[in-house]
Amino acid sequence: MDEGKLDFSLPQGKPRKSAANTILVMLVIILTALAVFNLYVTLSGRGPSAVPLAGGLSAEQAEQLATKLAQRNLYAQAAKVWQDYLSGVQLTEAERARGLFNTAVLLEKGQAYGDAIEYYYRSELATKLPDLESAINQGVANCFERLGRFSALRYEMMERTSFNKAEKPDQSIVAEIGPEKITAADLDGLIENAIDDQLLSVSQFMSPEQLGEQKKKMLEQYKSPQARQQFLSNWLAQEMLYRQALEEGLGDKPDTKRLLDNLDREVLSQQMMSQQLAQKVHLTETDLKTYYEANKDRYVEDVNDPNSQGNRQKSFDEVRQQVASELLGEKRRDVQQQYIKEMMDKYNVIIHASALGAGEQSQDE
């Protein structure tokens, strides 16, 4: 610049940062913060369990809640807590397997045996943990036994212990209906279902242990090849007749529909009464002994000995089954009569006996 001349130009300002530069800086800050957080999580050993659940509980709190519910015998609620936990967080395979196992154990304790088996299976599918293997085997076996599924239990144990799993007896074909194959396992299931149907009328009055023992005895009848073949032949005959009836549309005929309607009514009414009997008829050892003492004269036998005086009194142990059967019959009749009376009152049933030529109706009839 020449000396003596004035400079009227404005000083240049500092260049402004563009919007893109600002966004870039913010992204770098966010990414840095995330990296620091991840490093903290890794070093502190805190994983997904620290993430709050949908219900506002951390995994630690959920575990405490499930434990507390289980201690109060609220097993279904405790299992639900674990189910919510499993669906609410990201877990490793091992963490998921343990959570599913915990759920299965609680369901088993709550007597939801079918659901428990499912969750034991889910645990194994998540990943097989050596320290849970024995407990899962035992849990599955217990659940199948409690369900009374003895053939399923047998095959389950064979699969879990067999060294040659290619030779599974449940896959052997015992019969064919066209393209349909019936395996040995299918036959076992059919036999077991038939026995369940036979036991249905008395199952309400038996403990699970007694029912299991009775079912085992009945299954023994089908151990021989001859008995199994006879059952299969009878089942196939019924199945073929059933399929032919469907083909010919017998189920749509008025007479058949009326019969099926009546069967529905009969079965449902019997089930309703069985439910009431199961809830209200309970026999204790004291009940049996009291009944025996009150009816001792029923439990005597003739003595064919000229030197003996009178009849011999049978002991309680000798006639215990007879006493139980007679007392059960009496209690069932009482409950049936009372429940039918309650239903008549509920549905306002009136029988006009005079219109039937039976004279005046008494209120007690």
The pTM of the full predicted model, rounded to 2 decimals, is 0.52
- Full residue range of the structural domain in which residue 196 is found: 171-278
What is the rounded CA–CA span in Å between residue 106 and residue 112? 9
Q: What is the Rg, in whole angstroms, of the alpha carbon atoms belonging to the chain?
A: 37
Are 68 and 86 members of one domain?
yes
Domain assignment of residue 218, yes or no:
yes
Q: How confident is the model at residue 294 (pLDDT cuts 50, 70, 90)?
A: very high
Q: Is the pLDDT of residue 128 over 50?
A: yes
The enclosing domain of 69 has a CATH number of 1.25.40.10
The residue-averaged pLDDT of 26-55 equals 50
Burial of residue 56 (CB within 10 Å: 0-12, 13-18, 19+) is: exposed
**CA distance readout (Å), 128 to 89, 106, 119, 296:** 20, 19, 13, 62
Domain boundary among 147, 181, 214: 147
| Residue 144 Cα to chain centre, angstroms | 10
Is 133 in the same domain as 223?
no
Q: What is the pLDDT of residue 76?
A: 87
232 and 286 in a single domain? The answer is no
pLDDT digits (tens, 9 = 90+) for 68-112: 888 888 888 888 888 888 887 778 888 888 889 989 999 988 888
Q: At how many degrees (to 10) do helices 316-346 and 254-280 cross?
A: 120
pLDDT bin (cut points 50, 70, 90) of residue 41 is very low
User: In the chain, helix, strand, coil percent, each to 5?
Assistant: 70, 5, 25
* N-to-C CA span, the chain: 132
- CA 253 to chain CA centroid, Å, is 37
Contact 108, 142 (CB under 8 A): yes
Residue 39 located in a structural domain: no
- Model confidence at 44: pLDDT above 90: no
Whether residue 42 is contained in a domain is answered as no
Do 245 and 325 belong to one domain?
Answer: no
Looking at residue 43, what is its pLDDT?
44
Residue 60 confidence (pLDDT): 77
Indicate whether 58 and 75 sit together in one domain: yes
Whether residue 204 is contained in a domain is answered as yes
- C-beta of residue 90 within 8 angstroms of C-beta of residue 103: no
Number of structural domains, the chain? Answer: 3
Based on the fold, state whether residues 286 and 319 are members of the same structural domain.
yes
How long is the chain? Answer: 365
Q: Are residues 240 and 257 in the same domain?
A: yes
- Bridge partners (DSSP) of residue 182 are 175
Cα 200 to its chain centre, rounded Å, is 17
Is residue 205 within 8 Å of 277, Cβ to Cβ? yes
Neighbouring-strand partners of residue 176: 181
pLDDT reading at 336 higher than 70: yes
pLDDT above 70: residue 352: yes
pLDDT tens digits, 9-21: 545 555 554 555 6
The pLDDT tens digits for 254-289 are 999 899 899 989 988 988 988 888 888 888 889 999
One domain for residues 271 and 178: yes
The dihedral formed by the CA atoms of 335, 336, 339 and 340, expressed in degrees to the nearest 10:
-160
The helix/strand/coil state of 181 is strand
In this structure, the answer to whether residues 259 and 295 fall within a common structural domain is: no
Instruction: Name the helix (H) or strand (E) containing 263.
Output: helix 254-280
Q: What single DSSP character describes residue 345?
A: H
* Residue at 159 is within a domain: no
Distance between CA atoms of residues 125 and 129, nearest Å:
10
How far, in Å, CA of 229 to CA of 223, rounded? 10
Residue 256: inside a domain, yes or no?
yes
Domain annotation covers residue 131: yes
Residues 286 and 352 placed together within one structural domain of the fold: yes
Give yes or no for a contact between 151 and 190, defined as CB atoms under 8 angstroms apart.
Answer: no
Is the same domain home to 179 and 128? no
Are 286 and 298 in contact, with CB atoms under 8 Å apart? Answer: no
Q: What is the pLDDT of residue 340?
A: 94
- Identify whether residues 110 and 177 lie together within a single domain: no
Confidence of residue 166 (pLDDT cuts 50, 70, 90): very low
> Rounded distance, CA 273 to CA 37, Å?
64
Is 319 within a domain? yes
Q: Across the chain, what does the average pLDDT equal?
A: 79
